[in-house]
Structure 1
Amino acid sequence: MSDSTGTSAGAASTAGAPRHREQWSGQLGFVLAAVGSAVGLGNIWRFPGTAYDNGGGAFLIPYLVALATAGIPILWLDYSLGHRFRGGAPAAFRRLWRPSEALGWFQVGISVVIALYYTVIIAWAASYVVFAADQRWGDDPSGFLFGTHLQVADPGVGFDYVPGVLLPLIGVWIVTLLILAGGVQRGIERANLVMIPMLVVIFLAIVIRSVTLEGAADGLNAFFTPDWEALAHPDVWMAAYAQVFFSLSIAFGIMITYSSYLRRRDNLTTTGLVVGLGNSSFELLAGIGVFAAIGYMAGQAGIAVSDTSYQGIGLAFIAFPQILSTMPGGSVFGVLFFVSLLLAGMTSLISILQVVSAAFQDKFGWSARRGALSVGIPMAVVSCVLFGTTTGLYVLDVADKFVNEIGVLVSAIASAVLVGLVTRKLPELQAHLNNRVGIHVGAWWRWDVGLLVPVVLTAILVTGLIKLLDEGYDPATYTDQSLVRWIGWGTVVVCALIAGASMIPRWRHDPDAFIPEQLPDARPVTEGAAR
């Protein structure tokens, strides 16, 4: 077989063969990196609010069901694709089925868009580490965030730069690219080996302090008290699937890329279970810490916990500064809280950017350093231009909404349909998972990934699209929906354009010359062999 370069498979496998692919130093390095990718900002500020709004303690039931039927199975799908076909998303999908290379590049496009705005949130967290030391926000955290710090203008796209945002943003990009330039072991693995233990220790300290605050019990009661009637609403179940799906870093190339650096005989299924449960445990821990603190804040303000409505950016940069301003030792725990945000964001950002870097390393035969700098520097420039401004918050908000709730869902549905129905490769991938020490994957996995996951995710996607087309996005904020249309739908188009443009250049080495390892029986994988 030959590709567009005209290089034969035989030639590619000898003198023209690509250099040896990097590997993790061991299973622990991969687990820490994968957990670091999954545990991000959304675990801390998205899960608690989502759980509270969808049945409280009762939400844990659909959440665990979603984890078992979608989260872990799709993790295993990504692991099997990356590990069996030994490449980033574009190379892995091409080796699965040549026309599906476009889906791999679409996932790269999603990672590009997310990385552009994710860095600025980390830059805010870095700034707030300093602000927390002297509680610079004073008595008005909201006014400080939107006025003094971000200098937010009217919704739109403007180019009035905010030095207090732009300079930390540049710093985040420099640190991240230096880590990526070090490669898998010396860069990514070493960074996670330091940052993940630090994150766990710091966040445990924050949670312990939160649950000892006066009024913490009220917050925990609000968080865990089950509303069993909520389980009868389809929206609650869809919210659970969406939360699990978005929090595990699946379907936009991260786990495919990371698993491609595992050694041939490394465990896949048990590792996936550890990563999935580790991520969910951190989300639960975040919920406990957040609602204990909110209970304290509500008590100090003389209001009910139900009267607080903080989530996302408001939770991290408004509610917590309010809490820190009144609690004993607030400055110390404020620094620790924003350091935890910084660490959680950095470990996720590293994984997102590695998707992009690895894809171009595969395509052009670049080193880790060249890949990181060649794609990272242009992305850093675009990120600073768009998000270091007075309107960066609005661009971020709209882009995040559309790329996650449309782009990632489309990618996930396409992946499941492609592997399950178009190429019918699920038996082969199931056999690959089972050809290693670890949890045995039964035939249920094929039905789950090939049927249940596409149906559920399609329902979530269609419901979201209908609402967007009918009501628009946040009409109270965006009274003129032109920004939503241009930035929102534009992000999805940009992902598709990146996919199309990235397929045009020739591969440095023939990706089709790759031959996966033979399975134990050395015969083509059939339904019987897969069992």
Structure 2
Amino acid sequence: MSQPKEAWGSRLGLVLAMAGNAVGLGNFLRFPIQAVQNGGGAFILPYLLSFILLGIPLLFIEWSTGKFGGLRGFNSPPYILQTINKRKVWKYIGAFGLFSNIVIASYYCYIESWTLSYVYHSIVGTFRGMSETQVSLFFDNYLDVRHSTTGIPFEAIVFYILCLVLNIWILSRGLQKGIEKVAKICMPLLLIFGLFLAVKAFTLKAGKDGAVFDGIVGLNFLWTPDFTSLTNPKVWLAAAGQIFFTLSLGMGCIQCYASYLKKNDDIVVNSMTTGFTNEFAEIVIGSAIIIPISIGYFGIDKVVELASFGGFGLGFRSLPYLFGQWGHIMSILAGVAFFGLLFFAGITSSLAMGSPIVAFLKDTFGWQRVKASLGFGFIILLFGLPTVLFFSKGVFDQYDYWGGTVALVLFAMLETILFSWFLGIKKGWKMIHMGAEMKVPTVFKFVLKYITPVLLIVIFLASLIKPKDDNWSLLSFKGWELDNSSIIGELRHQGIGPNTKWMHDYFFAENTGVVDSIYTYNQRNYICVAGENGSKAYEYKSSYQLMVGVGDKVEIGDKLFKGKIINDVFYIDLSRIALLLLIGIIMTTIYIGYKRNNYNFDIPLDLD
């Protein structure tokens, strides 16, 4: 706190940095998939309602609390929350604002490195002449850290560390010379690249460059509403979840950035500007790239099938192949534009994730920014390498679920309760309007006090007890079967399959079908079991003893091979243990910092 206070250099820099925080990979890889899976054009109704009832109120809460904490000399979530209410528990609630950033950044920087690698491969023409299958296998090979697509040993790790070093360097440069400067470069380029691809998708014509349908067919499909979907609670919950992802809510990033505001800086106009900038990038640009281009070549049915596997499949397995249909020069331009767009979206978001961590190390230990940035890099490397080395073992999924989903909702719910019910809406309203040039409609007082906190409680409870397949008609006083992705289902390892022990002498089949092939690829051995619900390939070591042969019928739970086997559940449980240790270490560090610095949080609120 004795260090000179940093501040934003300009309103433009602030808005672009905040927009960069919000506009991330999910705008272009997650939103269009969510729209396809949840009623197309009808999805926009619950999405916009969620933006009004959840997004905007949470933006006001995080901007105003961040600004107030900054005026008291604090820039990290634990101490910012403590300034709002003198109860000591709030600084420990703020630990989730650090926890989620560390966990998300650990895998986010890895995904960010994919985009940088794909920019390189687009420029050098790696995908030129490849079939769709070959492009898809390229992605699989890239995720295998033992395989190199460039001749560089451990290529995935090299690009990951390169991205992490870049983040560290920018953070070490400070607010104005680092984060703000990068935002002023990256955000305009992101919008230019996005508009270029959107125009290309819109002008795609059937019969030209191998396209089967016009690009407009994809846009019509995406935005043709299926109003029957609005009766399904799953759609409304998906819309609310997307708002969290797209606005970077419940993470503490916004609070950290807002803590560098001056007393008379307007948070109403600035927060609304960044919010609507994000919505433009997501709804207008994000929806106009992946789906229209993919449908132009694959047709609606196949794209719907591919969308069920998420945005990574279309983004990294399909689009490089489709860009290749546009000719040599255009394929390079499109590849650089798309993956460059993703890289810019990724790095501006990861810088925002790093800022609360850097601020916490400065607040707690009095470190200079360079040392704190290096500390951030070490922490992310420590927790990030497991996602790189064991990506296919469930580590990434655990990080994403607990750090990138549950923690966000929990933190947002608790900070809203703090703001609306403990601080009180009267004082909160003054905080929002401190230095404001325009007034928020009075109806938002009611929204902030009742609707937003209640909705967040409902969302958290729904994620806790979600019924199987999101079928909410199953709810009954007699009980119901939980979905595998519900919090309780996750804790119970529901749906993990027959391989439930960390280590075992046998590996059991996880699907029913026929062994259609046993093969070696990239020096790895596989057994492929094909069934009615698709095929599944199981990797085994040469030292293992096979228990089946080609043509054998296999049921779930049948023995496939024998050996000293480490199952995925081992990596899953270790990931959970690591996450528990992380939250414990963060809370302990908060306690030590509180005692070490003898902070005074009892100063009365000054909102005049």
TM range (shorter): 0.7 to 0.9
1:58 aligns with 2:52: no
Change (3 A) 1:276 1:208: same
Secondary structure of 2:592's counterpart equals coil
Distance 2:579 2:390 in 1: 23
Give matches, 1:39-188, under 5 Å: 39-86=23-70, 87=74, 88-98=76-86, 99=88, 100-137=90-127, 138-139=130-131, 140-146=134-140, 148-151=141-144, 163-188=154-179
2:600 paired residue number = 512
Give the deviation of 1:307 after TM superposition.
Answer: 4.5
Change (3 A) 1:265 1:205: same
1:324 aligns with 2:323: yes
**Mean CA deviation greater in 476-485 or 304-313:** 476-485
Give the deviation of 1:44 after TM superposition.
Answer: 0.6
2:584 paired residue number = 497
1:199 aligns with 2:196: no
TM-score (ref. length: structure 1): 0.86
1:358 aligns with 2:359: yes
Distance 2:304 2:391 in 1: 31
Change (3 A) 1:193 1:515: farther
Change (3 A) 1:489 1:463: farther
**Mean CA deviation greater in 511-520 or 73-82:** 511-520
Structure 2: stretches of 5+ with no match in the other structure: 147-151, 206-213, 466-482, 500-509, 511-566
Give the deviation of 1:481 after TM superposition.
Answer: 7.1
* Greater share of helix: 1
Secondary structure of 1:25's counterpart equals coil
1:21 paired residue number = 5
C-alpha distance after superposition, 1:396-423 (max 9, x if no partner):
12311222221111111111122222x2
Q: Percent identity?
A: 26
Query: In structure 2, which of residues 560, 565, 569 is the aligned counterpart of residue 482 of structure 1?
Result: 569
Give the deviation of 1:235 after TM superposition.
Answer: 1.4
Letter in 2 for 1:163: F
C-alpha distance after superposition, 1:166-186 (max 9, x if no partner):
001111111110100011111
Q: Confirm or deny: 8 A CA contact 2:168 2:376 kept in the other structure.
A: no
Letter in 2 for 1:68: I
Change (3 A) 1:477 1:195: farther
1:374 paired residue number = 375
1:208 paired residue number = 199
Letter in 1 for 2:348: T
Give the deviation of 1:435 after TM superposition.
Answer: 2.8
* Greater share of strand: 2
Give the deviation of 1:85 after TM superposition.
Answer: 1.9
Secondary structure of 1:21's counterpart equals coil
2:17 paired residue number = 33
Distance 2:320 2:393 in 1: 19
Q: Confirm or deny: 8 A CA contact 2:394 2:571 kept in the other structure.
A: no
C-alpha distance after superposition, 1:482-509 (max 9, x if no partner):
2585156446524531332222323464
Change (3 A) 1:481 1:449: farther
2:347 paired residue number = 346
TM-score (ref. length: structure 2): 0.76
2:458 paired residue number = 459
Q: Confirm or deny: 8 A CA contact 1:217 1:295 kept in the other structure.
A: no
1:292 aligns with 2:292: yes
Letter in 2 for 1:94: Q
1:219 paired residue number = 218
Give the deviation of 1:448 after TM superposition.
Answer: 2.2
Q: Confirm or deny: 8 A CA contact 1:407 1:492 kept in the other structure.
A: no
Q: Confirm or deny: 8 A CA contact 1:106 1:495 kept in the other structure.
A: no
Q: CA RMSD in A?
A: 2.6
2:472 paired residue number = none
Letter in 1 for 2:274: V
Higher relative contact order (Cα pairs below 8 Å, separated by 6+ residues): 1
Distance 2:442 2:570 in 1: 46
1:190 aligns with 2:181: yes
Q: Confirm or deny: 8 A CA contact 1:430 1:441 kept in the other structure.
A: no
Secondary structure of 1:505's counterpart equals helix
**Mean CA deviation greater in 456-465 or 362-371:** 456-465
Q: Confirm or deny: 8 A CA contact 2:394 2:568 kept in the other structure.
A: no
Distance 2:54 2:195 in 1: 28
- Aligned residues, how many? 492
Give the deviation of 1:428 after TM superposition.
Answer: 1.1
Letter in 2 for 1:518: D
Q: Confirm or deny: 8 A CA contact 1:135 1:325 kept in the other structure.
A: no
